[in-house]
């Protein structure tokens, strides 16, 4: 192996390869948080200790390998569908079951090779928090738990900026000054806790502080000024709904522009990032006690569960995490006003986006008496997506969009169904 391999990852399983690795590459994934190490510190193995056997692999080679595994999964599924007439043959069915188990194991092993520990994006957060605190005359401690958990590297690469933004905001607008903390009966040093945990096929990351909490009155006032809510309804809103306004584009509770943005500035980008990854964001706050932002992301971006929908003769996929529910409404309940369509759902008028128009798919007039709708959320706004039919849920391997369609931002992935037809995965945040 040459010394100039680009974009490499370490993969265990080949002996006597350690001496061939450059220091930069050899330590790329060996940074962990141990019980004896302070948050933000790197730990290294003692000199002379046995290191696990490793080998360098080009990341593009690994991606091609995973793509090939995806094709094997597809071919296996197509083959099973093609010989469905032999389904009653126990020997044939048992053979396919064995193949499915072997392929599933192969897929799991390959996906493990694509993962890297969360510490790669959390290791710099304590230092960043201290730098902001020093400029503001505050004191802070950062505790990080669960940094050893691993995620798909393509997801991990997009977590750094949102996490840094949340930590800087927590120091700037969450934590009080030492004088004010002491007056409130709190320790002089503020605490920020970043905790990651696994929930089935997802990772949940809590970013919490023990500061003064979100100024809900200010958030509500800014929401009214922005026309997001009628003043007469503001007092009846639950705390969770008021706090959710900070995710609306352009809404900030900062009183003045500073080097560190207000809680609302960029929070819409944080939410959009996690939703585009198939996850989500929730915010909880309590006056005088602090704020917790919970981030949810899938462990892997290669396999996703989706809702298949039909539009004219085409089928597209919507990430299941973006689907609140699916319903059918009488077509005469959808009203057009000034070129925009609305439907009354749960006594709330929701904008209706026609996916056929958004994707420029020609729909033949069919005299529908009812319309299927997918209730979802786009950039903080609850909306209804009009489709022609529902085609069920499915979990599939997502391939990158071909170069020909790479500039069509609403298309975030591609797969091929059992019958050989291609289906695009949609990024709903790019609609409208």
320 lies in the same domain as 213: no
Which of 25-29, 107-111, 231-235 has the lowest average pLDDT? Answer: 25-29
In a domain, 329, yes or no: yes
- Residue span of the structural domain in which 243 resides: 116-298
Percent of the residues in the chain that have a pLDDT greater than 90, as a whole number: 31
Measure the CA–CA gap between 50 and 16, rounded to whole angstroms.
11
Domain boundary among 88, 113, 138: 113
233 lies in the same domain as 331: no
Question: Per-residue pLDDT for 12 more than 70?
Answer: no
Helical residues (DSSP H) of 175-323, grouped into ranges = 178-183, 216-225, 239-243, 267-276
Percent of the residues in the chain that have a pLDDT greater than 70, as a whole number: 82
Measure the CA–CA gap between 314 and 355, rounded to whole angstroms.
11
How many residues in total does the chain contain? 432
322 lies in the same domain as 252: no
Which of 4-8, 24-28, 215-219, 262-266 has the lowest average pLDDT? Answer: 24-28
pLDDT of amino acid 146: 95
pLDDT of amino acid 252: 66
227-254 pLDDT, tens digit per residue, is 888 888 888 888 888 888 888 877 766 5
pLDDT of amino acid 402: 81
State the pLDDT confidence band at 264, using cuts at 50, 70 and 90: very low
Place of tokens 């900030």: 252
Which of 42-51, 192-201, 309-318, 338-347 has the lowest average pLDDT? Answer: 42-51
Q: Look up the CATH number of the domain holding residue 227.
A: 3.30.565.10
In a domain, 1, yes or no: no
In a domain, 138, yes or no: yes
Q: Look up the CATH number of the domain holding residue 344.
A: 2.40.50.180
Question: Per-residue pLDDT for 266 more than 60?
Answer: yes
In a domain, 74, yes or no: yes
| Range 217-228 average pLDDT | 87
38-66 pLDDT, tens digit per residue, is 434 444 444 444 556 767 777 778 777 87
67 lies in the same domain as 215: no
276 lies in the same domain as 403: no
Averaged pLDDT score across all residues of the chain: 79
17 lies in the same domain as 143: no
Find the helix packing angle between 267-276 and 160-169, rounded to 10°: 150
47 lies in the same domain as 138: no
134 lies in the same domain as 253: yes
Domain boundary among 64, 89, 113: 113
Per the DSSP assignment, residues forming a β-bridge with 283 are: 293
pLDDT of amino acid 72: 79
- In contact, 315 and 423? CB cutoff 8 Å: yes
279 lies in the same domain as 323: no
Domain boundary among 298, 322, 340: 298
In a domain, 2, yes or no: no
pLDDT of amino acid 49: 47
307-330 pLDDT, tens digit per residue, is 999 998 899 999 888 899 999 999
State the pLDDT confidence band at 33, using cuts at 50, 70 and 90: very low
pLDDT of amino acid 292: 95
In a domain, 278, yes or no: yes
**Greater model confidence, 182 or 401:** 182
Token readout for 144 is 């990080």
In a domain, 87, yes or no: yes
319 lies in the same domain as 268: no
152 lies in the same domain as 273: yes
In a domain, 388, yes or no: yes
Q: Tell which residue, 98, 85, 2, 11, has the closest CA to residue 52.
A: 11
Judged by DSSP in three states, 242 sits in helix
308 lies in the same domain as 280: no
- DSSP assignment string, 334-382: EEEETTEEEEEETTEEEEEEEHHHHTT--------SEEEEEEEEETTEE
Work out how many domains the chain is built from and give that number: 3
Query: What is this structure's pTM?
Result: 0.65
């Amino acid at each position: 192996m040459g010394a100039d391999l680009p974009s490499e990852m370490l993969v265990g399983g080949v002996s006597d390869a350690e001496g061939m690795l450059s220091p930069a590459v050899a330590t790329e994934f060996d940074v962990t948080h141990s019980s004896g190490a302070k948050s933000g510190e790197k730990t290294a193995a003692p000199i002379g200790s046995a290191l696990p056997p490793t080998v360098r692999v080009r990341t593009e080679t690994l991606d091609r390998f995973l793509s090939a595994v995806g094709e094997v999964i597809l071919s296996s599924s197509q083959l099973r569908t093609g010989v469905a007439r032999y389904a009653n043959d126990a020997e044939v069915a048992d053979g396919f079951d064995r193949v499915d188990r072997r392929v599933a194991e192969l897929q799991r092993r390959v996906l493990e090779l694509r993962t890297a520990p969360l510490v790669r994006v959390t290791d710099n957060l304590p230092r960043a928090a201290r730098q902001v605190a020093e400029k503001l005359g505050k004191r802070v401690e950062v505790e990080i738990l669960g940094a050893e958990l691993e995620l798909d590297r393509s997801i991990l690469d997009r977590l750094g900026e949102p996490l840094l933004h949340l930590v800087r905001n927590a120091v700037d607008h969450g934590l009080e000054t030492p004088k004010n903390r002491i007056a409130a009966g709190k320790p002089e040093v503020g605490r920020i806790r970043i905790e990651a945990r696994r929930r089935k096929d997802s990772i949940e990351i809590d970013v919490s502080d023990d500061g003064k909490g979100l100024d809900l009155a200010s958030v509500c006032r800014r929401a009214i000024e922005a026309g997001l809510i009628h003043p007469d309804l503001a007092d009846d809103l639950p705390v969770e709904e008021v706090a959710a306004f900070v995710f609306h584009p352009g809404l900030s509770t900062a009183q003045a522009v500073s080097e560190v943005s207000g809680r609302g500035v960029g929070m819409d980008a944080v939410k959009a990032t996690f939703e585009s990854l198939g996850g989500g964001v929730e915010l909880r706050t309590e006056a005088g006690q602090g704020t917790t932002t919970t981030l949810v992301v899938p462990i892997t971006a290669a396999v996703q569960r989706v809702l298949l929908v039909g539009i004219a003769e085409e089928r597209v996929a919507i990430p299941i995490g973006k689907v609140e529910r699916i319903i059918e409404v009488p077509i005469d309940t959808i009203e057009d006003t000034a070129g925009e369509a609305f439907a009354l759902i749960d006594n709330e008028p929701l904008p209706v986006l026609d996916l056929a128009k958004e994707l420029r798919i020609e729909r033949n007039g069919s005299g529908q008496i009812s319309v299927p709708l997918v209730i979802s959320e786009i950039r903080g706004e609850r909306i209804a997506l009009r489709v022609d039919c529902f085609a069920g849920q499915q979990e599939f391997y997502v391939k990158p969009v071909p170069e020909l369609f790479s500039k069509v931002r609403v298309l975030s992935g591609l797969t091929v169904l059992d019958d050989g037809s291609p289906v695009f995965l949609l990024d709903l945040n790019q609609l409208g």
